[in-house]
Chains A and B, each alone.
Chain A
Amino acid sequence: MPTKDQIAIIGWSVSPMVRHTDKTEVQLLLDVITGAVEDAGISRADLDFTCAGSCDYVAGQAFSFVQNIDAIGAWPPKRDSHVEMDGAWALYEAWIRLQLGDIDVALATGSGRSSTAAPSSIYPMEMDPYYLAPLGADAVTLAALQARVLLDAGKTSERQMAEIAARNRSDAKSNPHAQVTGDFDVDGLLAEEYVRAPLRRHDLPPISDGAAAVIIARGDRAADLCEHPVWITGFAHCSESHYPGMRDLRQAGSATAAAAAAGIGDGPIDVAELQAAFTHEEPLLVEALGLSDEVSINPSGGPLAANPIMATGLVRVAEAARQIRDGGKHRTLAHATSGPCLQQNLVCILEGAS
């Protein structure tokens, strides 16, 4: 059972995911923050701490996160922080912050309008500035290199990758927020041209605009505010070298380490929501996290159905929480990743009351 000072998710909101929203990032955040406080049955005034995850390079504006504070409701003044990372790391900071014990309720957000510019022009700037960025090493290139390593090692196949795409898109049919949904024939997918061999279009996530907000509360306050709090019983993240040539790309060592630190082995996992934005990352993460065949992977359709950069990881947390509160599951896992070839990995383990 959760202890007095354990922290629970008490509400969340996920925006529709679209290729090109006509809303600004602040407007996206206004909607999901309003949605999350309503879901939690509180008001913005109840938020003691807020932490946002977003990216200036994606927004195309220096200090864009300062403008995003407009969506929070800046009065009375709040303790606020920001991470230039996915909102899952904002949630991690909020979780750490509540453990200081002086405040009880915190909000984490993730927001990104990926449609602002060609991702291939943005992401090299976030790579190693000496060795990778000047080559234009974009996310698809780095993912394709890891896919090649996994194919070469026999850890996946192009057919398995297509099957993963088809399964996620099919599962996404029941997700009202998803962007890419439907029934697809694996042979048909395999007949398509490569985008960046060995990756085809279906191996890549869509480019999505969207945002998510998650509210957490501490101990008794969580139980007071929420009939069905979803307890965070494990939370950790680990990182490896930023340079892909220094790592064994057949492994996701920092995912394994984060899962162990989060206590994944303390009980069975019912559902895992993984930030596997490229098809080949799913079997790699399933192995790295030690997930059995019994675990349902990305029933929401995952990032292959909607990939709002800077929010994709936080959406995984919301979806894993949904599986407990609305789906009756007992113990679920959310995973988020950052950096080239699954460099940094975060694992959040959630449990229901009993």
Chain B
Amino acid sequence: MTQFVESTVKFPYKRSLGPVIGEFMNGLANMRFVGIRSGDRVIVPPLEWDPDTGEELSREYVTVGPAGTVTAWCWVEQPTEAHPLDRPFAFALITLDGADTSLLHAVEADGIDGMSVGMRVAPRWKAERTGHITDVDAFVPGEDPVVPDGDLGPPEEPVTMMSYNASVTYSVPVTAYESNVRVANEEHRLFGLRCPVCGRIYTGGKGYCPIDAVAFTDDDEVDLPQTGTITNFTIITPVQYPGQTETEPFPRVFVLLDGFDVVLGYQPLVDCANEDIHVGIRVSARWVTDDDGVVMVWSPNGEDDVSDPELVNRIN
């Protein structure tokens, strides 16, 4: 039975609005819809270029709406977390008065029977607006915009950026060999797979040789030695992006295993100051338990260095 592992990935995007979309978003903050003129047409929401010809538009803005007409709609009986409302609503294409194109937004109506093509809708504004498409909470049936009690007004400064925080929960299979690696780690064995074609050895449970594109079988399993020699290293100064847990410079080393013609890349090294790391250090595996379970790290084992000027050239 294949196991699946679940993980939630967050996508915290920050984007520049630019002049044209910025005009629209700042309009929303001021409870106003702004379109852009393209020839005889007024395009809402505004784009920087004409959608048909690709010509850059002169920055001639036109206030449209606030009411408009529904030209298409669909009914969302079960909203998702990404949707603007948490109760049944319609997504609709709305041609705002004075516009020649339509805006996609939510409409909160009195059930699916309250929706029709041609119906009139007006915006229901949020009290706290940030210059974002969701400054309109939803459109509602009728001609008159709904202005909230306790209106907080627009932001003090014009808005130039927007945030978009998406989140996706993924479920991916753990392959049989990845499971084998976890079991081996718990037993403090270094699990490898040897390609039956080229003889290269892989750790980490990769179930195939990427050179020969062949899938491994149980006959290809091999227990690898837990001692070796550092052939190369780097010290990484962590950049503080979201999800980065390292705060101090840390090493990654390449280890040539004893008795096997295999170099393991990007290995963690402990018990060794960064300034003392050099090519030729003899190391042994140590097994430690962290959030991911039992994992292997390397540490110097006190044996004499290997002095071999060619060692540094070994990267695989």
Q: Which residues of A lie under 8 Å from residue B167 when comparing CB positions?
A: 121
Instruction: Determine if B211 and A148 form an interchain contact, defined as CB atoms under 8 angstroms apart.
Output: no
Q: In whole angstroms, what is the CA distance A27 to B120 when docked?
A: 53
Q: B82 near A27 (CB under 8 angstroms)? A: no
A116 engages B102 (CB within 8 Å)? no
Given the interface pairs A22-B173, A117-B168, A124-B166, the reply to whether A27 lies near B80 with Cβ below 8 Å is no
Q: Give A240 to B162 CA distance when docked, in angstroms.
A: 26
Number of interface residues of A (CB under 8 A): 61
Per-position contact with A for B82-115: 1 when CB-CB < 8 Å, else 0? 1110000001110000000111111000001000
- Chain A window 219-261, contacts with chain B (Cβ cutoff 8 Å), 1 for yes, 0 for no: 0000000000000000000001101111101000000000000
Q: B17, A130: Cβ atoms under 8 Å? A: yes
Q: Which residues of A contact B44 (CB under 8 A)?
A: 245
Residues of A near B169 (CB, < 8 A) are 117-118, 121
Task: Judge whether A24 is part of the interface by a CB distance below 8 angstroms.
Answer: yes
- B63 close to chain A: CB less than 8 A: no
Contact B171 A115, beta carbon cutoff 8 Å: yes
Asked if A138 CB lies within 8 Å of chain B CBs, one says yes
CB distance from A60 to the nearest CB of B (A): 4
Residues in A whose Cβ lies below 8 Å from that of B9: 60
Q: Does B127 contact A (CB under 8 A)?
A: no
Q: Evaluate contact between A194 and B75: CB separation under 8 angstroms.
A: yes
The segment from A65-73, A90-98, A176-184, A309-317 that touches chain B is: A65-73
- Stretch in contact with the other chain, from A6-14, A79-87, A196-204, A345-353: A196-204
Among A197, A199, A249, the most chain B Cβ lie within 10 Å of the Cβ of A197
Cβ distance A344 to chain B, nearest Cβ, rounded Å: 14
Across the interface, do B210 and A130 meet the contact criterion of CB distance under 8 Å? no
Closest to B21 in A: A130
Instruction: Please give the distance in Å from B123's CB to the nearest CB on chain A.
Output: 14
Are B105 and A135 in contact, CB atoms less than 8 angstroms apart? yes
Residue ID in chain B nearest A246 by CB atoms: B51
Given the complex, which residues of A lie within 8 Å of B71, measured CB to CB? 149
A240–B47 alpha-carbon span in the complex (Å): 14
Distance of A23 Cα from B2 Cα, bound (Å): 9
B contact residues around A72 at 8 Å (CB): 213
**B132 located at the interface, meaning its Cβ lies under 8 Å from any Cβ of chain A in the complex:** yes
Which residue in B84, B172, B173 is a CB contact (below 8 Å) of A136? B84
Asked, given contacts A24-B172, A130-B21, A243-B47, whether A148 binds B74 with beta carbons under 8 Å apart, the answer is: yes
A135-B104 in contact (CB<8A): yes
Identity of the chain B residue whose Cβ is nearest the Cβ of A72 in the assembled complex: B213
Partner of B103, one of A73, A245, A247: A245
Chain B interface residue count, Cβ-Cβ cutoff 8 angstroms: 60
* Complex contacts, B170 vs chain A, CB 8 Å: 60, 116-117
The CA-CA distance from A152 to B117 in the complex, in Å, is 8
**Residue of B9, B15, B72 contacting most chain A CB atoms (<10 Å):** B72
Q: A117 vs B132: C-alpha distance in the bound complex, in angstroms?
A: 27
Question: Could you tell me if A249 and B72 are in contact, using CB atoms closer than 8 angstroms?
Answer: yes
Taking a contact as CB atoms under 8 Å apart, the answer to whether A70 and B93 are in contact is no
Residues of A within 8 A of B168 (CB): 57, 60, 117-118, 121-122, 125
Q: Does A42 contact B (CB under 8 A)?
A: no
Task: Report the nearest A residue to B165, measured CB to CB.
Answer: A134
B172 touches A197 (CB 8 A): no
Q: Does B183 have its Cβ within 8 Å of any Cβ on chain A?
A: no
In the complex, whether B289 has a CB less than 8 A from a CB of chain A is no
Cβ contact within 8 Å between A44 and B213:
yes
Q: Is the CB of B133 within 8 A of A135?
A: yes
Min C-beta distance of B118 to chain A, whole Å: 9
Find A197's partner among B105, B112, B208 (CB 8 Å cutoff): B112
Known: A73-B212, A125-B166, A133-B164. A60 touches B7 (CB 8 A): yes
Residues of chain A contacted by B210 (CB below 8 angstroms): 69-71, 73-74
Q: Is B91 a contact of A73 with CB atoms below 8 Å?
A: no
Complex interface bits, A54-66 against B, C-beta within 8 A gives 1, otherwise 0 = 0001001000000
Using a CB–CB cutoff of 8 Å, the interface residues on chain A facing chain B are 21-24, 26-27, 30, 33-34, 44, 57, 60, 69-75, 113, 115-118, 120-122, 124-125, 129-138, 141, 144-149, 152, 194-199, 240-241, 243-247, 249
Could you list some 24 contacts between A and B, CB below 8 A? A21-B173, A22-B2, A24-B172, A27-B208, A69-B210, A73-B212, A117-B169, A120-B80, A120-B82, A125-B168, A129-B13, A130-B162, A135-B82, A144-B74, A145-B93, A145-B104, A146-B72, A196-B75, A197-B74, A241-B51, A243-B101, A245-B104, A246-B43, A247-B51
